[in-house]
């Protein structure tokens, strides 16, 4: 049972809830805050101008947070290899529309991994015996597998070539095109495959402890079957830690995805893609790290606040769901 009195007692919980509500409102009001060129299929990137300049444009009229360039070769437009053209991406536009991709990625990955892990943990914990032992050893094997290797394998197997978040998904065909247009990127697949284990471990321990409790034994003695005992008695008394873990994971998944995108892996979190374009401008003119501050500080600040909001919400839910929390 949630105790909202314990939740509201801490100011940090309210700050976390306010941050999440803020990002939800930004995502919902994105068409108003940053009107897209195509309302039917909004893209989280807006090319403010196209030129051969490598310099980011500072904040000004029409670009409240400036632009950051993306340098790429474009032989299909008659530009010889080795010659660069620059797309000047609007930082404010991506900051607003990137909120949607961050929420979608974090929630989809967290809810999917939580569902898989909880299901595995509950079934293995309740059945026990050899099946539980084998399931936990498989879980340990997944825990030991390096995630970065999984990202590389998934990207090569499902997408063939380098995943280009700036590319036009309508030009892709087959399986790769389906995944691209469905917003299912290599990071999302990999995180789902390699993030369910903590939930499985947690719920396995919870269920193994709770199934020996008096209320579970009483239900069993009255003829209740395993599905009813799990659904009506065990889950309501064991699910709270998984809910807390899930709340904290939403922000963590987005930050981790942006980190992978920053080092060169493809993903559909627009904030991470924008940070990639700012790599050459973190250290500006004469070594001044703030010469091009608009290329990385707004996005970085959004990531920090996004992660902090979900972590504070997790702490608040822990206080609200834990009867022993003071």
pTM: 0.85
pLDDT at 83: 46
Q: Are the C-beta atoms of residues 195 and 257 closer than 8 Å to each other?
A: no
**What is the mean predicted confidence (pLDDT) over 238-247?**
90
Q: Which residue has the higher pLDDT, 195 or 54?
A: 195
Is the pLDDT at 82 greater than 50? The verdict is no
In sequence order, which residues have a C-beta less than 8 Å from that of residue 77 and are 6 or more positions away? 85
Q: Are the C-beta atoms of residues 116 and 199 closer than 8 Å to each other?
A: yes
* Residue 204: inside a domain: yes
* Residue 71: inside a domain: no
Q: Are the C-beta atoms of residues 317 and 18 closer than 8 Å to each other?
A: no
**What is the mean predicted confidence (pLDDT) over 72-89?**
52
CATH label of the domain that carries residue 259:
1.10.3720.10
Nearest to 305 by CA among 13, 106, 16: 16
What mean pLDDT value characterizes the chain? 82
pLDDT at 74: 41
In sequence order, which residues have a C-beta less than 8 Å from that of residue 73 and are 6 or more positions away? 79, 81, 82, 83, 84, 85
Q: Residue 66: how many CB atoms within 10 A of its CB?
A: 21
* Residue 166: inside a domain: yes
The CA distance from 295 to 141, in Å, is: 40
* Residue 109: inside a domain: yes
In sequence order, which residues have a C-beta less than 8 Å from that of residue 71 and are 6 or more positions away? 54, 84, 85, 86
Q: How confident is the model at residue 165 (pLDDT cuts 50, 70, 90)?
A: low
* Residue 209: inside a domain: yes
Q: Residue 57: how many CB atoms within 10 A of its CB?
A: 21
Domain containing 277 equals: 4-40+91-321
Q: How confident is the model at residue 78 (pLDDT cuts 50, 70, 90)?
A: very low
SS3 63: strand
Give how many domains the chain has, as a whole number. 1
């Amino acid at each position: 049972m949630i105790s909202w009195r314990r939740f509201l007692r801490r100011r940090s919980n309210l700050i976390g809830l306010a941050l999440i509500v803020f990002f939800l409102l930004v995502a919902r009001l994105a068409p108003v805050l940053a009107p897209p060129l195509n309302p039917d299929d909004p893209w989280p990137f807006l090319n403010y101008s196209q030129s051969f300049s490598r310099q980011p444009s500072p904040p000004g009229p029409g670009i409240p947070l400036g632009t950051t360039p993306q340098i790429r070769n474009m032989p299909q437009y008659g530009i010889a290899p080795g010659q660069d053209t620059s797309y000047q991406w609007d930082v404010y536009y991506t900051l607003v529309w990137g909120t949607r991709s961050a929420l979608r990625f974090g929630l989809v990955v967290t809810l999917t991994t939580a569902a898989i892990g909880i299901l595995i943990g509950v079934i293995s914990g309740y059945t026990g015996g050899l099946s539980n032992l084998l399931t936990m050893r498989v879980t340990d094997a997944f825990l030991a597998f390096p995630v970065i290797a999984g990202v590389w394998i998934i990207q090569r197997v499902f997408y063939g070539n380098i995943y280009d978040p700036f590319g036009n998904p309508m030009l892709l065909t087959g399986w790769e095109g389906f995944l691209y247009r469905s917003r299912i990127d290599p990071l999302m697949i990999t995180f789902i495959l390699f993030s369910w284990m903590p939930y499985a471990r947690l719920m396995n321990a919870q269920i193994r402890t709770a199934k020996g409790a008096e209320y579970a034994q009483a239900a069993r003695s009255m003829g209740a079957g395993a599905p009813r005992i799990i659904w009506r008695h065990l889950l309501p008394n064991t699910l709270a830690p998984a809910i807390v873990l899930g709340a904290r994971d939403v922000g963590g998944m987005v930050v981790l995805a942006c980190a992978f995108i920053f080092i060169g892996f493809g993903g559909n979190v627009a904030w991470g893609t924008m940070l990639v374009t700012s790599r050459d401008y973190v250290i500006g003119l004469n070594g001044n790290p703030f010469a091009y501050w608009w290329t990385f500080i707004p996005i970085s600040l959004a990531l920090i606040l996004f992660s902090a909001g979900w972590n504070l919400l997790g702490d608040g839910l822990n206080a609200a769901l834990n009867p022993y929390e003071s």
